[in-house]
Structure 1
Amino acid sequence: MNNRSAALLIIDQQQGIHSPALGPRNHPEAEQRIAALLAIWRKQGWPIVHVRHISRNPQSVFAPGQPGAEFQPLLSPLPQEMVFEKNVTDAFIHSGLERWLHARAINQVVITGVASENSVEATARTASNLGFATCVVEDACYTFAKTDFYGTPRSAKEVHAMAMSNLQQEYAEVMTTAQLLSGLGFTLS
């Protein structure tokens, strides 16, 4: 993957994601990792896409008209950066993202954000299925603890690890921020 021509996708980095109601999460440094990638993409003039979830559920942390739907200040888009809104987990569904990427001859995406097993995984699967070379930056993604289908409580680390395992080699190249930056000739400070 030549990440120099890849679009950086930042998924659902909104204020509502910090709601205590969501429970314990993994990768507390994920936002700083995303910010480091964002700074490099900006400095290099590479394509950046911010994805904002606007929920149809009025009880959601991402319900429209509430502070939770707003971007986190650290990761807010600049006026020239593209923003796509979604109402489902997959950033490609009914958003125009695929068309936007094709119109710019972008055939690679680097995915960051939340939640690992929801919007990140769904978006990565679709990106791959649509023919985009797909990279998921695992330590620039995170999720929350949840109970599995059989009723067993799973930590955020376990949920995240399974999501990354689901994606690795089948749908995406999964790597750390340091690995991605090293491949681009940068180091993580």
Structure 2
Amino acid sequence: MTTALVVIDVQRGFDDPYWGPRNNPDAEENIAALLDGWRATGRPVVLVHHDSLTPGSPLAAGTPGNGFAAILDGVEAALTFGKNVNSAFHGEIDLDAWLREHDIEAVVLVGIQTNMCVETTARVGGNLGHRVTVAIDATFTFDLAGPDGAVLTAEELTRATAVNLHGGGFARIATTTEVLAELGQASASRANPA
């Protein structure tokens, strides 16, 4: 089974103080490790960028913040496209159709923000019948205030995303280490068919 790594919104604009406190300082290192694993096994990588329509957003198209973060420099992607909504399945490219055309049955999602674009992409992908895994430690998000002014921390939001996706049957939640171990096992089984 072919599995694509879908890297969501790993853009320079998320370094802006505009967003507030974030979690998971190891996210970029984990994303880089997964990219290395995908490169080493020749599996497809999909890069998605958010083209914000919000005035003044650090992610607005045509601004420096819209560009991919440095960890994506030199990454050869099978597909790169933009979106201006949360789900990568509703971008400039029909991701669902592209995956099916390329016989890609599963996706591993990483990127920013855990509880926004990563979670929404996982929900839509699961609803469309794709086998979705979220490498939760290869994502990060920011503290967020609710309508009553109560703030949930980025870590609380990440735990909620994991519960929502797992409990709702939208996606499997895994760590980078688990995904890389499975990648190695899949490579070994392809090299040594029974």
- What is the one-letter code of the residue matched to 2:159? A
Structure 2: 5+ residue runs without aligned partners?
Answer: 186-194
Paired position in structure 2 for 1:160: 158
Partner of 1:74: helix, strand, or coil?
helix
Instruction: Say whether the 8 Å CA contact 1:84–1:96 is kept in structure 2.
Output: no
State the structure with more CA Rg: 2
1:8 and 2:5 equivalent?
A: yes
Instruction: Say whether the 8 Å CA contact 1:50–1:77 is kept in structure 2.
Output: no
Instruction: Say whether the 8 Å CA contact 1:84–1:97 is kept in structure 2.
Output: no
Instruction: Say whether the 8 Å CA contact 1:129–1:171 is kept in structure 2.
Output: yes
Instruction: Say whether the 8 Å CA contact 1:77–1:83 is kept in structure 2.
Output: no
Which residue among 134, 137, 140 is the counterpart of 1:136? 134
Instruction: Say whether the 8 Å CA contact 1:113–1:141 is kept in structure 2.
Output: yes
Paired position in structure 2 for 1:123: 121
TM-score computed with the length of structure 1 as normaliser: 0.91
Deviations 1:38-67 (A, max 9, x none): 011012110110000111123111101110
1:67 and 2:80 equivalent?
A: no
Paired position in structure 2 for 1:44: 41
**Structure 2 CA distance for aligned equivalents of residues 76 and 60 of structure 1:** 23
Would you tell me which structure has more helix in proportion to its own residues? Answer: 2
Which residue among 17, 20, 25 is the counterpart of 2:17? 20
Deviations 1:76-130 (A, max 9, x none): 3635531021010110014321111111011100000011111001000010000
**Structure 2 CA distance for aligned equivalents of residues 184 and 80 of structure 1:** 18
After superposition, the Cα gap between the structure-2 partners of 1:136 and 1:7, relative to the gap in structure 1 and judged at 3 Å, is: same
Aligned residues: 183
Deviates more, 1:163-172 or 1:122-131: 163-172
**Structure 2 CA distance for aligned equivalents of residues 106 and 160 of structure 1:** 27
**Structure 2 CA distance for aligned equivalents of residues 32 and 81 of structure 1:** 22
Which residue among 64, 81, 103 is the counterpart of 1:84? 81
Percent identity among equivalent residues?
A: 39
- What is the one-letter code of the residue matched to 2:86? T
1:149 Cα deviation from its structure 2 partner: 3.9
Partner of 1:99: helix, strand, or coil?
helix
